[in-house]
Structure 1
Amino acid sequence: MKAIREARGIGLRRLAEAIGIDPGYLSRIENGQQGAGNGTLHRYAEELNVPIKAITHEETPRDQE
């Protein structure tokens, strides 16, 4: 997650503000120290304009064909 955000040139504080969470919480999520709810993950992906699976690494049944 952090690599995607940094590749887009978006600062942690700016992204946290845009998705409505505390920067410290976002930092812990990005560093794997804390989990995030689906709503937070979807807002994160939407703000970075990436598919949700790019940040969750989840595969759908279609991806496994």
Structure 2
Amino acid sequence: MRPNGQAIRAIRRAQKIGLRSLQQMTGFNRGYLSRLERGHIREPDENHIRTVADALNVAPEAITHQEEV
């Protein structure tokens, strides 16, 4: 599961959630979340994706890239 950092940031901003709030909601530090949004973390643990998706109240598919077949 590859994260789509642009989607994470867009959803977070649309919901008016700052990185500090997302940090509190997920338990991940802001640096990690920022790197995730900027695409610097290519293969995070799937549980991390689920945690972020749950915090944003979206399906994990909404914040990941589609795998090409």
In structure 1, the residue matched to 2:14 is 7
Aligned residue type for 1:52: P
Larger Rg: 1
SS of alignment partner, residue 34 of structure 1:
coil
SS of alignment partner, residue 54 of structure 2:
helix
Higher relative contact order (CA 8 A, sep 6+): 2
Aligned residues: 59
Residue identity over aligned pairs, in percent, reads 44
After TM superposition, where is structure 1 displaced by more than 2 Å over at least 4 residues in a row?
A: none
Structure 1 gaps, min length 5: 60-65
In structure 2, the residue matched to 1:49 is 57
In structure 2, the residue matched to 1:63 is none
Report the TM-score, using the length of structure 2 for normalisation: 0.77
Aligned residue type for 2:63: I
Q: Tell me which of 38, 44, 48 is aligned to 1:40.
A: 48
Structure 2 gaps, min length 5: 1-7
Aligned residue type for 1:54: A
More helix by share: 1
